[in-house]
Amino acid sequence: MDRQRLIFHIDVNSAFLSWESVYRLGKDPQCLDLRTVPSAVGGDAKSRHGVVLAKSTPAKKYGVVTGESLASAYRKCPDLIVVPSRFDFYIQASQSMMDLLSQYTPDHEKFSIDEIFLDMTETIHLFGSPLETANQIRQRIYEELGFTVNIGIAPNKLLAKMASDFEKPDRCHTLFYDEIPQKLWPLPVRDLFFVGGSAQKKLESLGIHTIGQLAASDPRVLKAHLGEKYALLIHQYANGIDNDPVGEREAVNKSYGNSLTLSRDVSDFDTAQQILLSLCETVGARLRADNVLCNCVCVELKTWDFRVYSHQATLPSSTDSTALIYENACKVLHEFWDLTPVRLIGIRTTKISEDGFSQMNLFESSQNQKMRTFEKAIDQIRCRYGVDSVKRASFLSETAIADHAAGKSKHLSGGSKETQ
């Protein structure tokens, strides 16, 4: 008989906010712990422009949500403490966690900068029971790295991710097959992974309000209202069915990307291009930090009704330049977007190669070479003095909808998830 799979999903609680607190407490142990007060990471507190990239649990109680504008967040919570982002340190904190988790199994998959799946099927016997092992991991992360996580324990990735979203923060939860009727099915249908606001409305119009009702529904009715592939997917998810394997960790990422769920729908090129520039800033910096180049740029859009579209273009030569990635991303956007209102914009760079082994481009202009040198110098300044120490002028306007370095991507194989 095959052994039942055992999957852990580790999710950092309020990741950017937690890591910012760890950084500040490391510099001054007596400073205010941002996790204990209404606070947020992102944007410019003085001008009140930009978006909320992460919020504390106390801020969440005021209704502050990730992706909304700072102006909106301040209206909900006038005493909100807003601090700039520090992506260089967040990447370090994330890597420290990944290194710790690699001690438990070689089979793991980085889901995003603050989430990872572990396949513990073949190694759990080395550490103890699933719950004991998960609690050991959770305690080690707090004691050694200074921040808290939630851990979901289940027989597949979908249920493990759902379990990690139960009561927060700093908790471990199980969701095995025999627990589905008690723990999963009573939840609102909107809580099911991959069910967005538009799908929620359609499901509720059919009298489906809970995950259990969705699990028991007739797939033929769902297909008639939601489309065959999507209906089948969420019906399987509601029944706890997910056969997606935990992918192996690779030496070089297959792609580098970022996406941002917007606080309002966007339907004009100027705003969309500014968001693309914001995302290209972080993607370009990550490429340069890993000494790799990309040869393909893909733009991804999720419309107001949760339909996902993408379009890509191969570059004339491999690059890590923010400017060149942004230039080509804008071309791609104009080629396929018909201005249908969108609620998420993403960018992904693929065909990744090591910088040191890429073929020299004999036709690269001296201007492009200077731009690469300039961008690497900017990276060094931001690494030393913080990511907000240097900003493009286009992000200083009070009307800017995006922060100058915003967004984080979260993807399961075969689909996208909104930033939480």
Residue 366 sits in the same domain as residue 266: yes
Residue 246 lies in a domain: no
Number of domains in the chain: 3
At 370 the pLDDT is: 57
Residue 137 sits in the same domain as residue 228: no
Reported pTM? 0.63
Q: 123, 158, 176 — which closes off a domain?
A: 176
Residue 368 lies in a domain: yes
At 369 the pLDDT is: 53
Residue 40 sits in the same domain as residue 142: yes
At 117 the pLDDT is: 95
For residue range 168-207, list pLDDT tens digits in order. Answer: 899 999 999 999 999 999 999 999 988 888 889 999 999 9
For residue range 115-174, list pLDDT tens digits in order. Answer: 999 999 999 999 999 999 999 999 999 999 999 999 999 999 999 999 999 998 999 999
Residue 50 sits in the same domain as residue 169: yes
Residue 245 lies in a domain: no
Bridge partners of residue 342, in order along the sequence? 266, 303
Residue 9 sits in the same domain as residue 145: yes
Residue 243 lies in a domain: no
Residue 166 sits in the same domain as residue 38: yes
Q: What is the pLDDT along the chain (420 residues), one digit of tens a residue?
A: 356 899 999 999 989 999 999 999 999 999 999 999 999 988 666 666 678 888 999 999 999 988 788 888 999 999 999 998 887 888 889 999 999 999 999 888 888 888 999 999 999 999 999 999 999 999 999 999 999 999 999 999 999 999 999 998 999 999 999 999 999 999 999 999 888 888 899 999 999 999 999 999 999 999 999 888 899 999 999 999 998 888 754 445 678 888 888 878 899 998 899 899 889 888 888 888 888 889 899 999 998 877 888 899 988 888 888 888 999 999 999 999 999 999 899 999 988 887 544 343 434 444 555 555 666 566 555 555 454 544 554 444 444 445 545 543 333 333 333 332
Residue 193 lies in a domain: yes
What does the buried/exposed string (b/e) look like for 141-166 if buried means 16 or more CB atoms within 10 Å of the residue's CB? Answer: beeebbbbbbbbbbbbbbbbbbbbbb
Residue 247 lies in a domain: no
Q: 141, 176, 211 — which closes off a domain?
A: 176
Residue 163 sits in the same domain as residue 190: no
Residue 244 lies in a domain: no
CATH number at residue 117: 3.30.70.270
CA dist 142 and 407 (Å) reads 25
Where in the sequence numbering do the catalytic residues fall? 115
Residue 59 sits in the same domain as residue 170: yes
How far, rounded to the nearest angstrom, does the alpha carbon of residue 161 sit from its chain's CA centroid?
14
Provide the domain limits for residue 283.
256-416
Task: Kindly give, in sequence order, each residue whose CB lies less than 8 Å from that of residue 64, ignoring residues fewer than 6 positions away.
Answer: 38, 40, 52, 55, 73, 76, 77, 80
Residue 232 sits in the same domain as residue 286: no
Residue 126 sits in the same domain as residue 73: yes
Residue 140 sits in the same domain as residue 27: yes
Residue 26 lies in a domain: yes
CATH number at residue 192: 1.10.150.20
Residue 294 sits in the same domain as residue 361: yes
